[in-house]
């Protein structure tokens, strides 16, 4: 195989356009973290991303996902009125629980429950959704685990629908993968659920006729402090139990790119302190992704020709397989290089047959992508006189 090295001039963007050096990765408070660009699947940052940690209330993302699937499958409707059982009554939940403040006998729609899961992170709402769709929490959890298995989340397991149990388990890497799938499957969820800044329950229409609420309307904020405070952030879910620390799954869209981060095992001396620390982690990671990395599709050479010998023609027209979109450190775009390698030609050359390969490498020589080089035309072997002349010229 002959190797011809060509500089990939199509993407030689000056490093000065992005800054002379990539910003250093941020210092993260959380014990485990990952940041991905979901369009390309590139991992931009990771720290102990495969550590098994209880997701806490991030569990509710899977609870919401299964419910949205049930709505789309016609099993239930978003407007369905959900009975509130004694088990789902907020007074049946353990102390320090995050609550929507459901009360037995109230009239609440499935949509309201999903909002109660997404914003105030109501553990009572998780029970109500599970009982309504699957008949019991255990049956609903079985659906959640089947979905995790279907999605290839081999280290993810659920023990309840609310996230209270320390037996729920996942990793930052797997949960980020799930978040990417969730947003692709339910793009409407960001605006309808996760970007809401406040949620009030119960309203007058939720009360039984002639009934009153123990607490009256309670307005609760979104526990994700990045929502409404950091531009471009549109989700997703926070979580905390003593066994996990402060967790965050967040998403943001910036200049046409989708970033997803998961931080787990965050420290905090109090609920307020832990919430602020995980928000700081999230903001630092997002800014690192926004400004330290660039996403683009390399332009492979067009109208290239290869000098051939012994054929009826001197030049063979080539066609390069297309490149896939890449996410790389911004300054590195000025140092990418494409190399081409060609095999020895045998006649006849058939159109679309592989005659070589190309590779795209970064400044350290690591291969980022590779593809094929194909013949763009048929070429027959030259006559005896052409072959003799080409041999002399070679």
Residue 221 inside a domain? The answer is yes
User: Which of 148, 179, 171 is CA-nearest to residue 49?
Assistant: 171
Lowest-confidence region among 14-23, 39-48, 132-141: 14-23
151 and 60 in a single domain? The answer is yes
Q: Which of 278, 295, 312 is the last residue of a domain?
A: 295
229 and 218 in a single domain? The answer is yes
302 and 283 in a single domain? The answer is no
CA atoms within 13 A on the CB side of 286: 27
Q: How much is the mean pLDDT over the chain?
A: 92
Q: Which of 251, 280, 295 is the last residue of a domain?
A: 295
**The pLDDT of residue 346 is above 90:** yes
287 and 339 in a single domain? The answer is no
Q: Which of 241, 269, 295 is the last residue of a domain?
A: 295
Q: For 257-301, what is each residue's pLDDT tens digit?
A: 999 999 999 999 999 999 999 999 999 999 999 999 999 999 899
**The pLDDT of residue 321 is above 50:** yes
For residues 242-250, average pLDDT: 98
Number of domains comprising the chain: 2
204 and 316 in a single domain? The answer is no
3-state class (DSSP) for residue 316: strand
Computed on alpha carbons and rounded to an integer, the radius of gyration of the chain in Å comes to 28
Q: What is the pLDDT, as a whole number, of residue 216?
A: 85
**The pLDDT of residue 22 is above 70:** no
User: Using 50, 70 and 90 to split pLDDT, how confident is the model at 210?
Assistant: confident
What is the DSSP code string of 221-239?
Answer: E-S-TTTTTSTTEEEEEEE
**The pLDDT of residue 1 is above 80:** no
7 and 66 in a single domain? The answer is no
Q: For 64-114, what is each residue's pLDDT tens digit?
A: 999 999 999 999 999 999 999 999 999 999 998 999 999 999 999 999 999
**The pLDDT of residue 388 is above 90:** no
Residue 125 inside a domain? The answer is yes
Q: What is the pLDDT, as a whole number, of residue 19?
A: 36
Residue 199 inside a domain? The answer is yes
**Where in the chain does DSSP place strands (E)?**
2-6, 32-37, 42-47, 81-83, 107-109, 198-201, 218-221, 233-241, 245-254, 257-266, 293-296, 305-307, 315-320, 326-329, 337-342, 354-361, 367-375
**The pLDDT of residue 14 is above 70:** no
User: Using 50, 70 and 90 to split pLDDT, how confident is the model at 204?
Assistant: very high
Could you tell me the residue range of the domain that residue 305 belongs to? 2-14+298-393
Q: What is the pLDDT, as a whole number, of residue 20?
A: 36
**The pLDDT of residue 40 is above 80:** yes
Q: For 93-105, what is each residue's pLDDT tens digit?
A: 999 899 999 999 9
Q: What is the pLDDT, as a whole number, of residue 386?
A: 86
Q: What is the pLDDT, as a whole number, of residue 23?
A: 67
For residues 126-133, average pLDDT: 98
Residue 27 inside a domain? The answer is no
Angle between helices 110-118 and 59-72 (to 10 degrees): 160
174 and 313 in a single domain? The answer is no
Q: What is the pLDDT, as a whole number, of residue 43?
A: 96
41 and 175 in a single domain? The answer is yes
140 and 279 in a single domain? The answer is yes
What CATH number has the domain bearing residue 168?
Answer: 3.40.710.10
**The pLDDT of residue 145 is above 70:** yes
Per the model's pLDDT, the better-predicted residue between 279 and 17 turns out to be 279
Q: What single-letter DSSP state applies at residue 350?
A: P
For residues 199-205, average pLDDT: 95
Residue 21 inside a domain? The answer is no
For residues 46-71, average pLDDT: 98
């Amino acid at each position: 195989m002959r190797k011809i090295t060509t500089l990939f001039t199509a993407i030689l963007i000056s490093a000065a356009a992005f800054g002379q050096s990539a910003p250093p990765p941020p210092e993260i408070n959380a014990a485990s973290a990952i940041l991905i660009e979901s369009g390309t699947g590139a991992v931009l940052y990771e720290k102990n991303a495969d550590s098994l940690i209880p997701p806490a209330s991030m569990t509710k993302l899977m609870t919401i996902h299964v419910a949205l699937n049930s709505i789309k499958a016609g099993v239930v409707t978003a407007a369905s009125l959900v009975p509130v059982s004694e088990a789902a009554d907020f007074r049946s939940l353990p102390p320090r629980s995050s609550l929507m403040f459901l009360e037995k006998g109230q009239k609440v729609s499935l949509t309201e429950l999903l909002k109660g899961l997404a914003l105030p992170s109501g553990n009572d709402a998780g029970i109500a959704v599970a009982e309504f769709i699957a008949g019991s929490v255990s049956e609903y959890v079985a659906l959640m685990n089947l979905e995790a298995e279907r999605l290839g989340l081999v280290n993810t397991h659920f023990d309840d629908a609310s996230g209270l149990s320390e037996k729920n388990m996942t990793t930052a890497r797997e949960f980020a993968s799930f978040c990417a799938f969730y947003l692709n499957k339910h793009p409407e969820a960001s605006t309808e659920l996760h970007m809401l800044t406040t949620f009030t329950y119960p309203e007058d229409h939720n009360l039984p006729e002639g009934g009153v609420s123990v607490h009256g309307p309670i307005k609760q904020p979104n526990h994700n402090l990045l929502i409404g405070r950091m531009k471009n952030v549109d989700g997703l879910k926070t979580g905390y139990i003593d066994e996990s620390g402060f967790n965050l799954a967040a998403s943001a869209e910036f200049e046409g790119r989708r970033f997803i981060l998961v931080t787990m095992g965050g420290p905090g001396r109090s609920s307020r302190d832990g919430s602020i620390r995980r928000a700081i982690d999230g903001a630092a990671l997002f800014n690192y992704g926004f400004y330290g990395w660039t996403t683009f599709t390399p332009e492979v050479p067009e109208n290239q020709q290869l000098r051939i010998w012994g054929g009826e023609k001197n030049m063979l027209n080539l066609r390069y397989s297309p490149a896939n979109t890449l996410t790389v450190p911004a300054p590195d775009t000025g140092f990418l290089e494409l190399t081409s390698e060609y095999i020895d030609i045998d006649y006849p050359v058939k159109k679309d047959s592989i005659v070589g390969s190309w590779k795209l490498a970064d400044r350290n020589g690591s291969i980022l992508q590779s593809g094929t080089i194909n013949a763009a035309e048929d070429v027959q072997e030259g006559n005896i006189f052409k072959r003799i002349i080409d041999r002399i010229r070679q």
